[in-house]
Amino acid sequence: MANLSILRRTAPLALGVLLTGCGVSHALFGGGQKGLGEPAPQKPAVGFAVAPVPEAALAAKHILNEGGNAADAATAAGFALAVTLPSRAGLGGGGACLIDLPKNDGGTGHITSLLFQPGQPSGATSGASRPAAVPQLARGLIAMQARYGRLPLSTDLAPAEAMAGGGVAVSRALAADLSVVGSALLANPASRSVFTTASGQMLQAGETLRQPDLATTLTRLQSAGVFGFYHGQFAAKFIDAADRAGGGLTLADLRAIKPRYVTPVTIDRLGYSLSFLPTAGGLGAATGIESLAQNPQAMDVAAGRALAAAQAARHGASLGALPASAGFAALDHKGGVVGCATTMNNLFGTGRIAPGTGILLAASPARITPPLLAAGLATRGGNFRAIATGSGQQGAPMAVAAGLYNALHSSVPMPSPVPAPGRANVIACAGLMPGAPKSCAGAADPRGFGLAVGSR
């Protein structure tokens, strides 16, 4: 615990300097100069990470250089987003991931998908003033880490715990979301204490976001794993707190919900095997890239077909206004890759934090139209070529389709922005991985505030 305590105190400073200069970047990721009496630094591992908040990408890259694989890095990024971008990713929410780990690194050699969307409570919530979703983010990410990860769970969670406990600068992405619905958070005392300054003003970009209750919850996850969250004393405490926040959840809901491994949607196009999340958004992305393969100039036609396919996947129900989401991805030196999309089923979910836990509650899917979670992966002969994750409400499926299509026709990951309102994060290796690490690069959407990082 001594190392964890040190990390908690120093993380805000280290990450802050890391974003403004290259010296700490080398030190944090294992490429610093040898000091007197110190062992020679290890050579940074080849790997790439991209996320909508810089600190999440840096957390993933740090884990890669600690010897973790793509599953470890994605776990670190996902939990880091729960701290730094709780408007779109939080312990109260959920998501979905595409996973491809080689057989020599804990994988099966087959691409799979893991679905852990925010769940619908099984019981009646008529007495709930702000019905909440059953949280799945922790369960999903820890399930992936337990099955595929190399490092201890505590190591993968350490960056998130440090940022929650020691504080982290409010990112431009979070500040933008706060400017949209931040005033609604003021009605909830627990949310107000997190997202405002001591004088009661909404936090602005660059100001410090501190979440001590969330840090305590993350520490419990580090020591007890998923059982410590979904069973026992903490589970009872969380359900009571969620009920006081108007969530209407039960212990039975918490214990019953489980992530699911599902076969992805796969098509052969453009000389590659293309895999997509088996969600409405993933089906839309597959349709969009099929349309682009037929006529690459008709981007509007492809976008229309992608959205129609997503709607058809929901049995023709009107999509209406869609919730926000976030996407991130990680690639390791063996060619293992994970790409995920997360959501709170509404910007900031219900807007209420379960007091004493730090967990912002996601909105119940019974009250909203679920988001179009989208991610796509291109491989050839089992080797990695490119991955794209999408966000941007109704534009998410086409963001993945266009992001993949453009990457597959270029030596760079994002030669041009994807169609608005979609946003894409992309990692691509023109020469395939493993085997050609120098051909790899990552790109965060240029209209957002994210970061792509890598070492060679």
Q: Name the residue among 274, 333, 307 with its Cα closest to residue 392.
A: 307
How many C-alpha atoms does 5 have within 13 Å on its Cβ side? 2
How many angstroms separate the CA atoms of 233 and 240, rounded? 11
Q: Which two tokens stand for residue 318?
A: 């009107």
Torsion of CA 314, 315, 318, 321, to 10 degrees: -10
Find the angle CA(170)-CA(175)-CA(178) to the nearest 5 degrees. Answer: 120
Sign, Cα dihedral of 395, 396, 401, 405: positive
List, in order, residues 6 or more apart from 453 with CB less than 8 Å away.
48, 49, 50, 57, 58, 61, 442
List, in order, residues 6 or more apart from 30 with CB less than 8 Å away.
41, 42, 43, 44, 45, 65, 66
pTM over 0.95: no
Q: Which residues of the chain have pLDDT under 70?
A: 1-45, 123-127, 455-456
How many angstroms separate the CA atoms of 351 and 192, rounded? 10
